[in-house]
Structure 1
Amino acid sequence: MAFDADEEILQDFLVEAGEILEKLSEQLVDLEQHPDDSNLLNAIFRGFHTVKGGAGFLQLEALVNCCHSAENVFDILRNHKRKVTSELMDVVLEALDHVNAMFDQVRNREEPTPAPDELIAALDELAKPEGDTAAPAPATPEPEPAAGAGNDSGDITDEEFEQLLDALADEKGAEQQPAAAPENTSANDAGSDGDEITDDEFEALLDQLHGKGQFAGPPVVDNDTPPEPEPEEPAKSSTGDDLITDDEFENLLDELHGKGKSPGAAPAAEAKPEPAAKPEPKKPEPKQPEPARQDAKPAAPAAPARDAAPAAETTVRVDTKRLDDIMNMVGELVLVRNRLQRLGSESEDEHMHKAVANLDVVTTDLQAAVMQTRMQPIKKVFGRFPRVVRDLARGLKKEINLVMHGEETDLDKNLVEALSDPLVHLVRNSVDHGIEMPDVREKAGKPRAGTVTLSAEQEGDHILLSISDDGAGMNPDVLRRKAVEKGLYDQDAADRLTDNECFNLIFAAGFSTKEQISDVSGRGVGMDVVKTKIGQLNGQINIVSEQGKGTSIIIKVPLTLAIMPTLMIMLGDQSFALPLVNVVEIFHLDLSKTNIVDGRECIVVRDKVFPLFHIKRWLVHGAAGQKEPENAHVVIVAMGTKQVGFVVDQLIGQEEVVIKPLGRALQGTPGMAGATITGDGRIALIIDVPSLLQHYG
Structure 2
Amino acid sequence: MAFDADDEILQDFLVEAGEILEKLSEQLVDLERNPDDSDLLNAIFRGFHTVKGGAGFLQLEALVNCCHSAENVFDILRNHKRKVDSELMDVVLETLDHVNAMFDQVRNGESLTPAPDELIASLDAFAEPAGEAPSREDAPTGAPQSAEDGGDITDEEFEQLLDALQDGSAAPDSPATAADPVQAEPAAGGGSGDDDITDDEFEALLDQLHGKGQFAGAVAADEPAPAADTNAAASTSESAAAGDDLITDDEFEKLLDELHGKGGAPTAAGTGETEKPAEEPAKAKPAAPKSEPKKPESKPAASAAPAPARDASPVAETTVRVDTKRLDDIMNMVGELVLVRNRLQRLGASSEDEHMHKAVSNLDVVTTDLQAAVMQTRMQPIKKVFGRFPRVVRDLARSLKKEVNLVMHGEDTDLDKNLVEALSDPLVHLVRNSVDHGIEAPDVREKAGKPRQGTVTLSAEQEGDHILLAIEDDGAGMDPDVLRRKAVEKGIYEQDAADRLTDNECFNLIFSAGFSTKEQISDVSGRGVGMDVVKTKIGQLNGQISIVSELGKGSRIIIKVPLTLAIMPTLMIMLGDQSFALPLVNVVEIFHLDLTKTNIVDGRECIVVRDKVFPLFHIKRWLVGKGQGQEEPTNAHVVIVAMGTKQVGFVVDQLVGQEEVVIKPLGRALQGTPGMAGATITGDGRIALIIDVPSLLQHYS
Q: Say whether the fold is shared (TM-score over 0.5).
A: yes
Relative to structure 1, the CA distance from residue 142 to residue 189 in structure 2 (aligned partners, 3 Å threshold; closer, same or farther) is: closer
The 5 A counterparts of 1:186-585 are 186-187=174-175, 240-241=217-218, 255-256=232-233, 313-585=317-589
Distance 2:326 2:181 in 1: 65
Letter aligned with residue 501 of structure 1: E
Distance 1:548 1:669 in 2: 44
- Secondary structure class of the residue paired with 1:139: coil
Relative to structure 1, the CA distance from residue 332 to residue 514 in structure 2 (aligned partners, 3 Å threshold; closer, same or farther) is: same
Asked if structure 2 preserves the Cα contact closer than 8 Å seen for 1:166 and 1:195, the reply is no
Could you say which residue in structure 2 is the equivalent of 1:282? Answer: none
CA positional deviation for 1:640? 3.5
1:327-369 CA-to-partner distances (Å, cap 9, x unmatched) read 1110000000001001111111111111111000000000000
Distance 1:91 1:401 in 2: 21
Q: For structure 1, which segment, 492-501 or 186-195, has the greater mean C-alpha deviation from structure 2 after superposition?
A: 186-195
- Secondary structure class of the residue paired with 2:658: strand
- Which of 603, 608, 616 is matched with 2:620 structurally? 616
Distance 2:110 2:648 in 1: 51
Could you say which residue in structure 2 is the equivalent of 1:80? Answer: 80
Asked if structure 2 preserves the Cα contact closer than 8 Å seen for 1:147 and 1:254, the reply is no
Asked if structure 2 preserves the Cα contact closer than 8 Å seen for 1:568 and 1:652, the reply is yes
Distance 1:671 1:544 in 2: 28
Relative to structure 1, the CA distance from residue 421 to residue 302 in structure 2 (aligned partners, 3 Å threshold; closer, same or farther) is: closer
Asked if structure 2 preserves the Cα contact closer than 8 Å seen for 1:147 and 1:257, the reply is no
Relative to structure 1, the CA distance from residue 42 to residue 138 in structure 2 (aligned partners, 3 Å threshold; closer, same or farther) is: farther
Could you say which residue in structure 2 is the equivalent of 1:167? Answer: 164
Relative to structure 1, the CA distance from residue 576 to residue 311 in structure 2 (aligned partners, 3 Å threshold; closer, same or farther) is: closer
Q: For structure 1, which segment, 191-200 or 635-644, has the greater mean C-alpha deviation from structure 2 after superposition?
A: 191-200
Distance 2:364 2:230 in 1: 62
Asked if structure 1 preserves the Cα contact closer than 8 Å seen for 2:165 and 2:180, the reply is no
Letter aligned with residue 240 of structure 1: G
Relative to structure 1, the CA distance from residue 122 to residue 664 in structure 2 (aligned partners, 3 Å threshold; closer, same or farther) is: same
Distance 2:515 2:126 in 1: 45
Letter aligned with residue 482 of structure 1: K
Could you say which residue in structure 1 is the equivalent of 2:667? Answer: 663
CA positional deviation for 1:48? 0.6
Could you say which residue in structure 2 is the equivalent of 1:267? Answer: none
Asked if structure 2 preserves the Cα contact closer than 8 Å seen for 1:150 and 1:257, the reply is no
Distance 1:482 1:67 in 2: 50
Could you say which residue in structure 2 is the equivalent of 1:181? Answer: none
- Secondary structure class of the residue paired with 1:12: helix
- Secondary structure class of the residue paired with 1:360: helix
Asked if structure 2 preserves the Cα contact closer than 8 Å seen for 1:168 and 1:256, the reply is no
Q: For structure 1, which segment, 78-87 or 193-202, has the greater mean C-alpha deviation from structure 2 after superposition?
A: 193-202
What 5-or-longer segments of structure 2 have no aligned partner? 188-194, 209-214, 222-228, 240-303
Distance 1:336 1:366 in 2: 14
Relative to structure 1, the CA distance from residue 37 to residue 257 in structure 2 (aligned partners, 3 Å threshold; closer, same or farther) is: farther
Asked if structure 1 preserves the Cα contact closer than 8 Å seen for 2:142 and 2:161, the reply is no
Could you say which residue in structure 2 is the equivalent of 1:269? Answer: none
1:491-537 CA-to-partner distances (Å, cap 9, x unmatched) read 11111111110100000000000101111000000000000000000
CA positional deviation for 1:260? 13
- Secondary structure class of the residue paired with 2:94: helix
For the aligned residue pairs, the C-alpha RMSD in angstroms reads 3.2
Asked if structure 2 preserves the Cα contact closer than 8 Å seen for 1:164 and 1:257, the reply is no
Letter aligned with residue 587 of structure 1: F
Relative to structure 1, the CA distance from residue 631 to residue 135 in structure 2 (aligned partners, 3 Å threshold; closer, same or farther) is: same
- Secondary structure class of the residue paired with 1:602: strand
Asked if structure 2 preserves the Cα contact closer than 8 Å seen for 1:150 and 1:254, the reply is no
Asked if structure 1 preserves the Cα contact closer than 8 Å seen for 2:184 and 2:197, the reply is no
Distance 2:628 2:72 in 1: 75
What 5-or-longer segments of structure 1 have no aligned partner? 178-183, 211-237, 245-251, 263-299
- Asked if 1:637 is matched to 2:637, the reply is no
Distance 2:461 2:675 in 1: 30
Asked if structure 1 preserves the Cα contact closer than 8 Å seen for 2:640 and 2:649, the reply is yes
Relative to structure 1, the CA distance from residue 142 to residue 536 in structure 2 (aligned partners, 3 Å threshold; closer, same or farther) is: farther
CA positional deviation for 1:171? 5.9
1:624-667 CA-to-partner distances (Å, cap 9, x unmatched) read 86321111111111124421110001100000001111112222
Larger Rg: 1
1:271-300 CA-to-partner distances (Å, cap 9, x unmatched) read xxxxxxxxxxxxxxxxxxxxxxxxxxxxx9
Distance 1:315 1:240 in 2: 36
CA positional deviation for 1:187? 3.4
Relative to structure 1, the CA distance from residue 138 to residue 101 in structure 2 (aligned partners, 3 Å threshold; closer, same or farther) is: farther
CA positional deviation for 1:239? 8.1
**Count, aligned residues:** 613
Asked if structure 2 preserves the Cα contact closer than 8 Å seen for 1:76 and 1:129, the reply is yes
Distance 1:476 1:380 in 2: 35
% identical aligned pairs: 83
